[in-house]
């Protein structure tokens, strides 16, 4: 558990941000968790554009409207709520509403419910911010159809080809899922926001890793979000009899894969940074028989770093290593780059603001990169965007026993409110 000091007033030009209501925030998180909740696993299943996901979106819009906020859903399924005039550029806060299958209740949902709590807190305080305050609950962040669809629609990064061609792992088409959800697939193109319509984007998210919990800090101030590339690799050898083929006369595809796995730490030492990650996550050996030498190894390789130059250097080094290994074992090496997502830096303006405010509150914090992708990385393309993390106990995420302590959530929510307050009171 990380230590949280009592909340004290924040100093600032615009005065102090009002205090958020942690009990109300807790009730909101639990209310959202009911959508797609599965008692048998004590977890949440809110797949992008599925029934539970869409019901949660409608509930959030109804809640916002009932409480007097302007609310609507855009063509990509993103939910908006707004306090303040419609014609001025917004200070936007948010995260995603959808979940992975068998998720915990905090991933994404916490950032959206915190944004709701900040809206309510401002309204209760009778705040009249210069710039309107906006909630954004994004759609399909978790990757049923590739991920971060709502944020990419907002930043103008989705294409008609993607909207009409994407499908999930079960072969369901994105266009069909959106139609079933009451959305016009190509309508997502109209969700694009101009950079002039948003002054800033801030996101609160659980860390989903063990760093803050391990070092006992309450807040992570995120400086950059890793980019990621994904390869599918084929090593092809010869599927001979495991008894008759002598050890020195084999083309064993698994031995090639094993050699490569062994080379990964050296590749990172020589070409990577402390933020680099290389992961072989899925392997298939063919023909897959105990008494046959694997004639083919098919595996995924995912590389991450916060610099695109380093990501490229890792790709080149993996290519050289795999070519050399294939020669040594008499294998054919082929690969396909399935995806490439650029890394992004959070806006220094937002990162510095979070750091100033977190110091004023006296919370313990750590500047850190994000190894996972987040909506914020697309928002950096159109506005000053940044994010904060709250600790994940044991680093657990994408699982029902994902947990963040409420006292840490209270600190994170207050910090988001402080940042929203400062940004929404900025002079012209
Ligand atoms: Zn998430």
Taken in order of first residue, the domains within the chain and their CATH numbers are: 22-225+345-424 (3.40.630.10), 227-341 (3.30.70.360)
Q: Do 372 and 252 form a contact (C-beta atoms < 8 A)?
A: no
pLDDT of 3 over the 90 cut: no
In angstroms, what is the span from residue 403 Cα to ligand 1's centroid? 13
Distance 96 CA to ligand 1 centre (A): 7
62 CA from centroid of ligand 1 (Å): 23
Do 420 and 412 touch, CB atoms closer than 8 A? no
Residue 426's pLDDT is: 94
CA of 220 to the centre of ligand 1 (A): 15
Place of tokens 């962040």: 141
CA of 208 to the centre of ligand 1 (A): 8
Write the pLDDT tens digit of every residue in 37-96: 999 999 999 999 999 999 999 999 999 999 999 999 999 999 999 999 889 999 999 999
Q: What b-and-e string marks burial along 177-211, b requiring 16 or more CB atoms within 10 Å of the CB? A: bbeebebebeebbebbbeeebbbbbbbbbbbbbeb
Centre of ligand 1 to C-alpha 183, Å, is: 23
Q: Which residue has the tokens 């004023």?
A: 360
How far, in Å, is the centroid of ligand 1 from the Cα of 141?
A: 7
What is the CA(225)–ligand 1 centre distance, in A?
13
Question: Which pLDDT belongs to residue 86?
Answer: 87
For ion ligand 1, residues whose CB falls within 5 Å: 107-108
Least confident interval from 4-18, 30-44, 90-104, 156-170: 4-18
Return d(Cα 77, Cα 145) in angstroms, integer: 14
B/e letters for 337-352, b = 16+ CB within 10 Å, e = fewer, are eeeebebbbbbeebbe
Looking at residue 5, its pLDDT comes to: 46
Ligand 1: distance of its center to the CA of 263 in Å? 31
User: How many angstroms is it from 45 CA to the middle of ligand 1?
Assistant: 13
How many percent of the chain have pLDDT more than 70?
A: 97
Cα of 204 vs centre of ligand 1, distance in Å, is: 10
359 CA distance to ligand 1 middle (Å):
26
**pTM of the prediction?**
0.88
As a whole number, the mean pLDDT across the chain is 95
**How remote is the CA of residue 198 from the centroid of ligand 1, in Å?**
22
User: pLDDT category, 428, cuts 50, 70, 90?
Assistant: confident
Q: Residues 201-251: pLDDT tens digits? A: 999 999 999 999 999 999 999 999 999 999 999 999 999 999 999 999 999
Specify whether the CB–CB gap between 38 and 44 falls below 8 A: yes
pLDDT for position 4: 47
Instruction: State in Å: Cα 291 to ligand 1 middle.
Output: 43
Query: Residue 103's pLDDT is what?
Result: 95
Q: How far is the CA of 398 from the centre of ligand 1 (A)?
A: 9
Residue 13 pLDDT level (bands cut at 50, 70, 90): low
From the CA of 100, how far away is ligand 1's center (Å)? 9
pLDDT, position 338: 84
Compute the distance from residue 193 Cα to the ligand 1 centre, in Å: 22
Instruction: Determine how many CB atoms are found less than 10 A away from the CB of residue 15.
Output: 12
pLDDT band of 339, cuts 50, 70, 90:
confident
Distance 218 CA to ligand 1 centre (A): 18
Q: CA angle 418-409-101, nearest 5°?
A: 125
CA of 98 to the centre of ligand 1 (A): 8
Distance from the CA of 97 to the center of ligand 1, in angstroms? 9
Q: Provide the token pair at 295.
A: 């004639």
CA distance linking residue 375 with residue 395, whole number of Å: 20
Ligand 1 centroid to residue 324 C-alpha, Å = 38
Instruction: Return d(Cα 59, Cα 56) in angstroms, integer.
Output: 5
Average pLDDT over residues 272-300: 96
- Residue 64's pLDDT is 98
* Ligand 1 midpoint to CA 108 (Å): 4
- Determine the distance separating the centroid of ligand 1 and the alpha carbon of 32, expressed in angstroms: 15
Q: What confidence score (pLDDT) does residue 11 get?
A: 41
């Amino acid at each position: 558990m990380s230590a949280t000091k009592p909340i004290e007033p924040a100093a600032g030009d615009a005065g102090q941000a009002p205090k958020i209501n942690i009990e109300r925030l807790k009730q909101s998180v639990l209310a959202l968790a009911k959508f797609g909740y599965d008692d048998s696993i004590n977890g949440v299943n809110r797949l992008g554009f599925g029934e539970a996901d869409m019901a949660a979106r409608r509930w959030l819009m109804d809640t916002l409207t009932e409480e007097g906020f302007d609310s609507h859903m855009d063509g990509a399924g993103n939910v908006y709520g707004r306090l303040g005039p419609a014609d001025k550029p917004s200070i936007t806060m948010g995260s995603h509403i959808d979940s992975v299958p068998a998720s915990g209740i905090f991933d994404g949902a916490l950032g959206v419910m915190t944004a709701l709590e900040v809206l309510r807190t401002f309204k209760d305080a009778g705040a009249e911010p210069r710039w309107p305050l906006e909630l954004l609950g994004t759609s399909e962040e978790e990757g049923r159809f590739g991920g971060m669809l709502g944020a990419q629609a907002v930043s103008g990064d989705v294409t008609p080809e993607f909207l009409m061609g994407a499908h999930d792992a079960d072969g369901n088409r994105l266009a069909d899922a959106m139609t079933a959800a009451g959305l016009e697939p190509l309508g997502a193109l109209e969700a694009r926001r101009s950079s002039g319509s948003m002054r800033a984007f801030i996101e609160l998210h659980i860390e989903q890793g063990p760093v803050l919990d391990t070092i006992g800090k309450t807040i992570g101030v995120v400086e950059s979000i890793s980019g990621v590339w994904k390869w599918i690799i084929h090593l092809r050898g010869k599927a001979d009899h495991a008894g008759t083929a002598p050890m020195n006369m084999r083309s064993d595809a698994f031995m090639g894969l094993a050699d490569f796995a062994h080379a990964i730490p050296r590749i990172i030492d020589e070409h990577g940074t402390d933020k680099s990650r290389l992961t072989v996550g899925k392997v298939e050996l063919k023909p897959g028989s105990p008494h046959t030498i694997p004639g083919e190894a098919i595996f995924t390789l995912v590389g991450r770093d916060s610099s695109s130059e380093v990501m490229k250097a890792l790709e080149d080094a993996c290519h050289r290593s795999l070519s050399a290994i294939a020669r040594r074992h008499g294998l054919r090496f082929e690969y396909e780059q399935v995806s490439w997502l650029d890394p992004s830096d959070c806006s220094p303006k937002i990162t510095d603001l979070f750091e100033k405010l977190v110091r004023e509150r006296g919370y313990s914090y750590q500047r850190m990169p994000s190894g996972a992708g987040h909506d914020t990385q697309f928002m950096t393309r159109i506005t000053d965007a940044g994010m904060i993390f709250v600790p994940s106990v044991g680093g657990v995420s994408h699982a029902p026993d994902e947990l963040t302590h409420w006292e840490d959530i209270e600190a994170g929510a207050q910090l988001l409110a402080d940042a929203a307050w400062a940004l929404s009171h900025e002079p012209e």
